Structure 1
Amino acid sequence: MITHIVFFKLKDRSPDSIQATAQVLTNMEGKIPVLKHIEVGLDILHQERSYDIALVTKFDSLEDLSAYDGHPLHLEVKKHMKEVLDGTSVCVDYQS
């Protein structure tokens, strides 16, 4: 299994903005066949170094992760994220 974790810091760090973007991410659940698990977590400490949202996804293989990356719904999500991100996201991909 491949675990893909991404951390996002938003331009607008208000609770409403964070919740709206979390919903955009959560909306992928059940709509991308290769996406076996999705978890969206919201930061609770709100420190300067904190990221606002964590996305944890799991796939059966690297090929499935690649298919997810090009899926039309994920492409829409990436477009949204480019508009709301404060800079770039960071990620880790590992075999689990």
Structure 2
Amino acid sequence: MPVVDSDSGEACRVAPFRQIAADLAAEIERGELAPGRPLPSEKELTERYGVARNTARSALAVLRERGLIYAVTGRGSYVTDSAGGNE
């Protein structure tokens, strides 16, 4: 998944899990994924991005570490109430 380096202007590759996390974070920040709403499942992310389940799991872990989502065992991941900054 290429992106443009802001310093050099050259295309470079970003790890797929980081790109997925960035895409989901942007959806949260735009309000497309509202607080309390579920995120796509790992299976849905693997299908959307054509990646392995561990890659999708790693992307969700990044969002949890950033405090944007929380996980409920057996139910999925949800957007935190404080995510998005649209208060």
Ranked by relative contact order (alpha carbons within 8 Å, sequence separation 6 or more), the top structure is 1
TM-score range, shorter chain: 0.3 to 0.5
- Which structure dedicates a bigger proportion of its chain to strand? 1
- Which structure dedicates a bigger proportion of its chain to helix? 2
TM-score by length of 2: 0.35
